[in-house]
Amino acid sequence: MLRVEEKGSKSREIPVWHDLEGQIRTYLDSAGMAGKNTTRPLFCSTLGKTKRLTDPPLTTNEVS
């Protein structure tokens, strides 16, 4: 289950694929965010095809 915090201090749990945790950990390692306490969004956009992450987060539609 993935717990998501939404607007208005609401949260909900969403059932997810069984290995999502491993994939998110791999992503965090690749993004240089593993083990860091950061307020940066989990899913950021990239700068063109450079694969460098930028500060603006992906939109809900882009994540979907």
User: Residues 13-40: pLDDT tens digits?
Assistant: 988 888 888 898 898 888 778 887 777 7
Model pLDDT, residue 5? 81
Q: Report, as an integer, the average pLDDT of 46-55.
A: 80
The token duo for 64 is 């979907």
- How far is it, in rounded angstroms, from Cα 34 to Cα 19? 17
Model pLDDT, residue 47? 83
> How many alpha carbons fall within 13 Å on the CB side of residue 28?
15
Model pLDDT, residue 58? 82
